[in-house]
């Protein structure tokens, strides 16, 4: 039961969020390279990576587990964007736009997770 992950809308949206995260982090101060920048990039990459890994597994249960991890990473990234806004690394508009994007992604992940049943 392998899914073609590149055809999944949720994976495509996750890839867009990861790209935007990299673009936003490029403007962070250099001394954040091993701090918030690294954390945000890891969380952003984790979302599409876990969707893809789960899609390649042999059972619905395993796929659901990886979708749950991807969802957790989406919430982690949203929190990190809010922190980046608070400390002035991203604008309120950028943080709000990413928050809306991640909210949509979280809903899509939840829907896919639910559609796979138990």
Residue 57 lies in a domain: yes
Within 10 Å of residue 62's Cβ, how many Cβ atoms? 16
Domain count for the chain, please give it. Answer: 1
Judge contact between 102 and 74, C-beta under 8 A: yes
Q: Which domain holds residue 83?
A: 34-115
Query: Is residue 71 assigned to a domain?
Result: yes
- At residue 75, φ and ψ (nearest 5 deg) are -65, -40
Q: Look up the CATH number of the domain holding residue 61.
A: 1.20.1440.60
Q: pLDDT tens for residues 66-114?
A: 999 999 999 999 999 999 999 999 999 999 999 999 999 999 999 999 9
**Residue 118: per-residue pLDDT:** 67
**Cα separation of 102 and 6, whole Å?**
19
- Is 0.85 topped by the overall pTM? yes
Q: Read off the pLDDT of residues 2-53 as tens digits, 9 standing for 90 and up.
A: 668 999 999 999 999 999 999 999 999 989 888 999 999 999 999 999 999 9
Q: Is residue 49 part of a domain?
A: yes
The verdict on residue 29 lying in a domain is: no
Q: Is residue 27 part of a domain?
A: no
């Amino acid at each position: 039961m392998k899914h073609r992950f590149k055809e999944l809308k949720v994976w495509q949206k996750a890839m867009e969020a990861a790209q935007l995260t990299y673009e936003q982090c490029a403007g962070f101060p250099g001394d954040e390279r091993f701090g918030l920048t690294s954390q945000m990039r890891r969380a952003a990459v984790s979302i599409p990576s876990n969707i893809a890994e789960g899609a390649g597994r042999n059972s619905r249960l395993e796929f659901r587990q990886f979708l749950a991890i991807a969802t957790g990473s989406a919430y982690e990234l949203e929190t990190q964007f809010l922190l980046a806004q608070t400390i002035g690394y991203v604008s309120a508009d950028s943080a709000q736009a990413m928050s809306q994007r991640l909210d949509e992604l979280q809903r899509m992940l939840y829907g896919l997770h639910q559609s796979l049943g138990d």
